[in-house]
Amino acid sequence: MNHLLARACAAVAAFALGFSAAAEVLSAKVAGGELQGFAAKGVVSFKGVPFAAPPVGELRWKKPQAVNTWQGVRAADAFAASCMQDPMMLQIQQAPPAMAEDCLYLNVWTPANSAGDRLPVMVWIYGGGFAIGTTAAQLYDGAPLAEKGVVLVSVAYRVGAFGFLAHPELSRESGKGSGNYGLQDMIAGLEWVRDNIAAFGGDPRNVTIFGESAGGIAVSMLAASPHAKGLFHKVISQSGGSFAPSRRAAEGGLSVPALALAETTGSEFLGKLDATTIAAGRALPAGQIQQAQGPGLTGGFWPVDDGDVLPGDQFVLYSAGRFNDTPVLIGTNSDEGALFIQGGVTSAALQGQMRGGYGEHADELLAVYSNATESQALQGARDVFRDSLFAWPTWTWARLQSAKGRGRAYVYYFDHRTPQRPNGAWHADEMQYVFRNLGSGFAGIGDGATRSEDVAMSDLASTYWTNFAKTGDPNGAGLPRWPAFTEASQQVMFLDAASSARPVPNMEQLKAWDAYYAWRRDQAKAR
């Protein structure tokens, strides 16, 4: 009996050990070679995974090329260097200081028990004004969100002049315009996900792209790019969207330059570096190019209306039904502009700014923002920033998606207030709640000590986000009901102390911006 008992115990132990070993995806074969992951608290991470060849030398200012192969097993245990940017910005993003032009790497966090699990996939695209950004920020640690049953991927892309410099010679070289290498990096990352994510227990047929700020804008661009068709199945944009006409001069509220303007900007930039040809530009040290851009978010580089990756005004494309139709979850924060505009705004300054860039609509726009006193002017400037860059594109996107698409639109308004944010949520404030990384943030804009209300908001937001990634619907048991947005019923989910669906906020301002952008589109047609 003792012998039989010992054999039974050994069998149970062997089964338990075998199950434990099989309960995590610790290695994966992908394009390029084999990877070794690292497990912690039920989630396995694979960091610094190459998804394209290093975009250096002759590959600078070209679309990403096929990944180089490696021999043996590659330990995926550390983030790769961030893409070239102002090094001070990496410190502010609380990321390691390493940066390089060789930066096309991604990261995977998987809670899968086996490669056959087919869990929903969420692909994160960072923000930073297309001038900065990194997958290595503490805020973007994907493990806590992956714990909610998704495979999380974060993809690096080139920023600044390395990612978005257009030039006539580059346009001739490609035959399809120039200036959108950063967007092509994202597309290459999504192609990698399509081809490889099953090895990590992810479902390549259930991919959600999500991003914030420039990342949210990029997500909307991918939703309109024919090159990204079929690479994702749901979209989440946090403070993003790009639905204004292309910029041809210094028009207020327009960000995406037309190809001719972008080529001029690129030529002037290289001219300052005494690079009269693209060959000379490719021979420049990466540090010299970065230094020429200037600090922070300066540099003036943005995705380009090149007629190829971005085939035109997204408002026009959506109106014609030419977009990648999926369910979307999109929204803005209540006091977005407070991060960017800290003070020093007078009524005269605000009025001068508006009349300098918004033409005959300046007075109509000023009329919907109180600006008689200095405090009103400051809040007015912040709200102009919020509504023109984030709120109007989001509202417009929701209307177009609900009218022209089959996928539903779900819209939120993040207004979670804290002792540090008594007047509303700043730009980027929602990210620590979505990622379940409370207490993380960018240096100088953290949200103070974590309270029970913050934990509750994080659980609510992350559950909505992951529910949407799983099914295309954020709703679930025990959650406040979030209705889909329609033209007839324009309801948004207020994420605040009493989260519930309510009418779109700031409608008077949104309608004023709608009239302004319609006027700009009419001007563009007349050219």
CA–CA separation, 456 and 370 (whole Å): 34
CA–CA separation, 238 and 98 (whole Å): 27
Query: Coil, strand or helix: which one is 421?
Result: strand
Which residues, in sequence order, are CB contacts of 19 under 8 Å at separation 6+? Answer: none
CA–CA separation, 178 and 60 (whole Å): 12
Across 94-176, where does the E strand assignment appear?
Answer: 105-110, 119-125, 151-155
Is 242 catalytic? The answer is no
Query: Coil, strand or helix: which one is 412?
Result: strand
Helix ranges (H only) for 23-134 are 87-92
| Phi, psi of 381, deg, nearest 5 | -65, -40
Cα separations in angstroms, 364 against 165, 356, 430, 524: 35, 14, 31, 20
Is 246 catalytic? The answer is no
Cα separations in angstroms, 393 against 376, 406, 518: 24, 19, 13
Q: What secondary structure does DSSP assign to 190-250, as a single string?
A: HHHHHHHGGGGTEEEEEEEEEEETHHHHHHHHHTT-GGGTTS-SEEEEES----SPPBSSS
Which residues, in sequence order, are CB contacts of 404 under 8 Å at separation 6+? Answer: 318, 319, 321, 323, 325
User: In this structure, what DSSP letter does residue 425 have?
Assistant: P
Amino acid at the residue 73: V
Question: Could you tell me what percentage of the chain is helix, strand and coil, using 3-state DSSP and rounding each to the nearest 5?
Answer: 40, 15, 45
| Phi, psi of 384, deg, nearest 5 | -60, -45
User: In sequence order, what are the beta bridge partners of 66?
Assistant: none
Catalytic residue among 171, 213, 242, 246: 213
| Contact assessment for residue 210 and residue 153, using Cβ atoms and an 8 Å cutoff | no
Catalytic residue among 233, 427, 458, 462: 427
Catalytic residue among 212, 336, 458, 462: 336
| Contact assessment for residue 225 and residue 489, using Cβ atoms and an 8 Å cutoff | no
Is 3 catalytic? The answer is no
* Active-site amino acid positions: 213, 336, 427
